[in-house]
Structure 1
Amino acid sequence: MNQGINTTQPLSILYQDTDLVAINKPHGLLVHRSFIASDASEFAVQLLRDQLGQRVYPVHRLDRKTAGVLLFALSESMNSLMQQQFMEGAVHKTYLAIVRGHTPDEQAIDYPLRRDDGIVQDAFTQLKTLQRTEIPLPFGKHTTSRYSLVELTPTTGRMHQLRKHMAHILHPIIGDRPHGCNKQNKLFKDHFGMNTMLLHAQQIKFTHPVTSEPVTITAPWQAEFGRMLGVLFGEEEQKIN
């Protein structure tokens, strides 16, 4: 079952013009068919194609369990132009994540990542802490549990970069498998009934290839992310949104 997906409702469109369209991808929805996720039967590409009645081209990717801004081109030529911007680092992306522990106010994470084929690539992420919380929930030898809401800005686009970088600095994203903390993931499932990954692609900024105008697309968080913000941070959620 793809948690967070309501296939009776159309995909939420955040932006659309004659060249591009962006959706707020739910947690659990694959961008396209993948041999590593044979259990999935629905995909963002096909759902959006059917919803718009025309072919769409994903110009970037989000992990299955990551929600938020997902951008598509409406032609092969626009797809090529947008992918060029991504390769040149001209697209600015911002994510929100709920992670284990209290993170520093700011941190630059400069940690190369190894691909499955063994090639090592530079990877850089800027972290900014938005909120911290400590709740009366025992965990291990501790009588309380600490969490942080962080803003993550990657300047490279490596596979699972944010997930791996947060694990590297010992503040894994809640709900992340396999890079996160399985004990924390079990705690959230058992105590809160939460079984997704708390990573949200909040915003994307770029220059429109046709109009040369700046474009900013922002996605409100999905219901489960919002619920956990309320559970962990209480009234602070309203100040963040």
Structure 2
Amino acid sequence: MKDREELVLVVKGETELLKYLVDSVPAKRRNTIKAVLRDRQVSVDGKVVTQFDHPLHPGQQIRVRWEKIPFNRLYHGIRIVFEDRDLIVIDKPAALLTVATETEKRRTAYSILSDYVKERDPAAKIFIVHRIDRETSGLLLFAKNEGIRDRIQETWMSTITERTYVAVVEGQVEPAAGTVTSWLTESAAFKVYSSRKPDQGKRAVTHYRTIKGNRDYSLLSLSLETGRKHQIRVHLQDIGHPVVGDKKYGAISNPIKRLALHAQVLAFIHPVDNVPCRFESAVPPSFLRLFAVK
């Protein structure tokens, strides 16, 4: 077995992860298998697992990537969350564009990942599946071929099973949970406006709930039924609680010197293997510091 190969296994009975891999791959030393677990190179049903005694159940799919991801080749703070032959999921830092604009063509998530895949195969390409705002951090999905990208985009509503964001907003949100529905349009100046009239734009639905709060700020979890441009930012302005640092949509404070919006959870059905994949990124520490007891 070449070290560059990816191994895919289907569990037949109840067992634990390390034991299963040791029994299934006798050509690999136990310490080698421990190392790939430690280095986040093993996934169970699309979710990276590092725990040796993680319980396995019949029908689960195990992927082992023998080649360690060369993190030192990834710059500008990008972290690879998941990679297989079809997809790459990254954790994008704030202030990094997803794709090039007229004024910024090289320092983008797309260009960095393109360089990354070409270092291993000069003919390799990546394709943008969706975008998040430059000022927003968090999870972002790319495809490794055009067909996979098209398949996901064409079946977006059924393929993407969960998209959750966290945001710090100004003030104490009341009620603590709710749904915002409006119709969004974009002006010539690239600002998005919200209307309650169905004939004035594209329908957008955002669900929110309060995780924690204090006198000045609230930390919200937000899930999307639709994925319109600037949807969360506009909807939080609509309810009178703009995202911290979002001057464009009404914020008056910027205590952490960035937009306090983070794409925390991304879940989807794998377009080839048809297995559920779910990835979660930690809430940025700068968000949580706003709620530290002084």
Query: Please, what TM-score do these two structures have when normalized by structure 2?
Result: 0.65
Q: Does 1:34 align with 2:101?
A: yes
Q: Which runs of 4+ in 1 moved over 6 A?
A: none
Q: Does 1:168 align with 2:234?
A: no
Deviation of the 1:8 alpha carbon: 4.5
Q: Does 1:184 align with 2:253?
A: yes
Deviation of the 1:9 alpha carbon: 5.4
Q: Specify which of 187, 193, 199 is matched with residue 116 of structure 1.
A: 187
Q: How does 1:158-237 map to 2 (within 5 A)?
A: 158-181=228-251, 183-185=252-254, 188=255, 194-221=256-283, 225-230=284-289, 232-234=290-292
Q: CA RMSD in A?
A: 2.0
How far does the alpha carbon of each residue in 1:172-230 deviate from its partner, in whole angstroms, 9 at most, with x for none?
Answer: 0001131132x323xx2xxxxx3210000001111111111001011224xxx312412
Q: Specify which of 105, 112, 115 is matched with residue 50 of structure 1.
A: 115
The separation in 2 between residues aligned to 1:52 and 1:153, in whole angstroms, is 31
Deviation of the 1:17 alpha carbon: 0.9
Q: Which runs of 5+ in 1 are unaligned?
A: 1-6, 135-145, 189-193, 236-241
- Which structure has more RCO (C-alpha within 8 Å, separation ≥ 6)? 1
Q: Bigger radius of gyration, 1 or 2? A: 2
Are residues 116 and 89 of structure 1, via their aligned partners in 2, closer, same or farther at CA, if it must alter by over 3 Å? farther
Q: Is the 8 A contact 1:89 1:156 kept in 2?
A: no
Deviation of the 1:92 alpha carbon: 1.8
Q: Does 1:99 align with 2:180?
A: no
Query: Please, what TM-score do these two structures have when normalized by structure 1?
Result: 0.79
Paired residues, number = 204
Q: Secondary structure at the match of 1:92?
A: strand
Q: Specify which of 132, 146, 153 is matched with residue 76 of structure 1.
A: 146
